[in-house]
Chain A
Amino acid sequence: MTYFPEEVVEHIFDFLSSHRDRNIVSTVCKAWYRVERLSRRSVFVGNCYAVRPGRVMARFPGTKCLSVKGKPHFADFNLVPHDWGGFALPWIEAAARGCPGLEELRLKRMVVSDESLELLARSFPNFKALVLVSCEGFSTDGLAAIATHCRGLRELDLQENEVEDHGRQWLSCFPDSCTSLESLNFACLKGEVNAGALERLVARCVNLRSLKLNRAISVESLARILVRTPHLVELGTGSFTVEHRAEAYQRLIHAFRKCKSLKSLSGFWDVAPRCLQSIYSICPNLTVLNLSYAPAIQGADLVKLIRHCFKLQKLWVLDCIGDKGLAVVASTCKELQELRVFPSDIYGTGTAAVTEEGLVAISSGCSKLNSLLYFCHQMTNAALITVAKNCPHFTRFRLCILDPGKPDPDTNQPLDEGFGAIVRSCNDLRRLSLSGLLTDTVFLYIGEYAARLEMLSIAFAGDSDKGMVYVLNGCKNLRKLEIRDSPFGDAALLENVGKYETMRSLWMSSCDVTLGGCKALAAKMPRLNVEVINDRVESDEMEENPSDMHKVEKMYVYRTLAGARNDAPEFVDIL
């Protein structure tokens, strides 16, 4: 194919949408590398420290969509100290210099300052979409800058970020001439916004299809908004506190009836169970329903609602739905593909809200299920074996038994066989999270059968180094491995050092790895950054030169072309 003119090759590459495919074709020959790099429009950087921002922009000058991820996944659970890193500013600066045609920016788990949002707002005349997921470091002032300067903005999607509230005026910064918004999500903002400005904004943005409000938006306001946005496809309600006899509620029901395109619902903070009736008319069309922020809705009311939702593909609920509620889901939602059941009572001993019974019921009713996140109080091997048989199509299987290291309550055995059945049956499994009592045996199974596994999360599991070695030697597609509180040490860490260059990253915390082991790894593999993250308290007390025998509390290893990063805080040692 090298004798085809470059335009033809480029045209053929147009059909390659996945960045992995494009990465592969770029390694075929210099000509293809050149064609590919100049024609790539969408760039994905899975680890912001794997490569320098400037290098990315230099290689792909035509970048229109840039996607960057920062902190390791366990940062979600407070295992990564607050100022570890993951700053967005260098990326925005490099893009401003190298790719001023940038249209979309997606950042996950990064620290985004108001300064960087202001720079973003002013640097890209064609900017269309900003998506921030689990980020922090900015305030509503930064949002004001985006609203003010990004003419033609189509999408502003803020998912679960920590945003400082500096006042409600940011929304009013969208000029009257702004009519281009198609998606607006500010559900994670804590403060109020100017309701009038919001209503006018959504009224003039006729292409608005996705709107997710925050808790400060009242039902009255929601009713007025919905009247102006009858073509909405996705809605996140604000606070749903309303007296069911109130006029506002009647208006809301009326407005919902007009929204014939609604397919996705979320929000529902503070909703009183009785008010759920207002959405019964929409339920038969719903494909996505997120009630995981509505702890006031107990099992019986949830069930009444779900009985109307037979087209549901994605359901996020709290465990107050109970096993019985899940059985109703199983008999009603035959199209279900993704289920997430979150715990409502995190620290209490509480009533056993969902158990293995609920999961088995789901698996027997919902044969299309491919993605699961399930928090429960107990699980049995028998149940997992049944689930594996009923649902062989899992691509993501994340099970969290709330008691760490809990065995099968019926047999007191570890859950090795249950998870073993899952990996044997689900050939397309890409992501797996383990919990419960587990020995090295489960890792033997994973290494042997989970050929497509890309991400594995381990907590309080295993007996010896053998466990980790089974995984490193077996799972040939492994990209991310994160381990906490498990007895894996230097021998396991150093068994297959070449493996880490085929992976994005390895995280180990509260394991048996020592400083000496980390140093050895760093010495053998210069293209890995081996970060030792010290506990703040410990680093104050530690001497200048801690012994190599000292166990490392947190270690983060990742392949990189950029060498040691220069923005690491003092409690991080890069070996």
Chain B
Amino acid sequence: MEGAGESLRDTELRLGLPGTDAPEKPALTVTRGGKRALPEDNEEAYAKSSKSSSAEEQGEGDLCGQEPPAAKAQVVGWPPIRSYRKNSLHARKVEGEAAGLYVKVSMDGAPYLRKIDLKVYKGYKELREALDDMFKCFSLGEFPRKEGCSGSEYAITYEDKDGDLMLVGDVPWEMFISSCRRLRIMKGSEARGLGSRH
């Protein structure tokens, strides 16, 4: 079975200069290691047979221009990165991406709470914009744009993993999302104590 594909190709009559074969991805049609994973095979089989070439074929040919395939077939031991390194990068990602990081958001005076996923925001600015959007229906005024909130009506605070009430914006974003347990939008009058940074 191995040689058949190749020799047939050799005897094919073609027009055109050598080396200008249509991109038929020859490597994918020649069997490799005697184990050719067919496109219909499920991903489990891929993982065992250590081949992702067919998945590519399917991915590039059929799904060109559409959403990229949800999960590329994972080949055992590929890419060649030490487990130690994979685990340490993957652990960080998993910490980050596992099921999102949903926290409750309450606002003083609002009749009900909301829930947001902190993972989707890249930083404080986006978070403030999202909260603004979410709570503006309660027409409760502008949100503080800068860190510290001297002068504005509301302050965004959060409860950290020690149970303390903290002002949002002091610590690096990554640190914030790992320690934030819930958010609370406080009326300015109560928040004044937290806000003073001078």
Contacts and interface: CB of A to CB of B under 8 A. Distances in A.
A511 B72 CA distance: 23
Contacts of A510: 33, 35, 49-50
Contact of B76 (A78, A342, A349, A511): A78
B89 A243 contact: no
Interface in B16-53: 19, 23, 25, 27-28, 30-35, 49-53
A73 to B, nearest CB: 9
A402 interface: yes
A349 B68 contact: yes
Given A463-B30, A511-B33, A404 B19 contact: no
Contacts of B30: 463, 487
A504 interface: no
B2 A484 contact: no
Interface of A is mostly: loop
A77 B82 contact: yes
Contacts of A402: 79
A77 B53 contact: no
A539 to B, nearest CB: 14
Q: Which of B2, B32, B53, B69 has the most CB of A within 10 A?
A: B32
A460 B32 contact: yes
B88 interface: yes
A129 to B, nearest CB: 22
Contacts of B6: 463-464
Contact of B80 (A76, A160, A293, A344): A76
Interface in B162-198: 170-175
Contacts of A400: 79-80
Q: Which of A403, A407, A512 has the most CB of B within 10 A?
A: A403
B6 to A, nearest CB: 7
B152 interface: no
Contacts, number: 130
Given A74-B77, A77-B77, A134-B84, A270 B174 contact: yes
B2 A347 contact: no
A155 B88 CA distance: 25
A348 B93 CA distance: 12
A343 B171 CA distance: 28
Contacts of B90: 346
Nearest to B56: A403
Given A404-B53, A485-B50, A134 B82 contact: yes
Interface residues of B, number: 48
A274 interface: yes
Contacts of A512: 2, 33-34
Nearest to B82: A76
B83 interface: yes
Nearest to A215: B88
A487 B27 CA distance: 11
A295 interface: yes
A79 B84 contact: no
A2 interface: no
A375 B170 CA distance: 37
Contacts of B83: 76-78, 162
B126 to A, nearest CB: 16
Contact of B85 (A74, A269, A342, A403): A342
A58 interface: no
Given A241-B175, A403-B56, A457-B80, 8 more contacts: A74-B77, A77-B81, A295-B93, A348-B72, A403-B52, A460-B51, A463-B6, A484-B50
Interface of B: 2-3, 6, 19, 23, 25, 27-28, 30-35, 49-53, 56, 68-69, 71-72, 74-86, 88-90, 92-93, 170-175
- 9 smallest CB-CB distances across A and B, nearest first, come from A77-B77, A272-B172, A349-B68, A160-B84, A412-B23, A510-B33, A79-B77, A76-B82, A243-B171
21 contacts: A77-B82, A78-B76, A79-B76, A160-B82, A160-B85, A245-B170, A274-B172, A293-B88, A295-B93, A347-B74, A404-B53, A407-B25, A413-B19, A457-B80, A459-B78, A460-B51, A463-B6, A464-B6, A487-B31, A509-B50, A512-B2
Interface of A: 74, 76-79, 134, 160-162, 188, 241-245, 269-270, 272, 274-275, 292-293, 295-296, 342-344, 346-349, 375, 400, 402-407, 412-414, 433, 437, 439, 457, 459-460, 463-464, 484-487, 509-512, 551
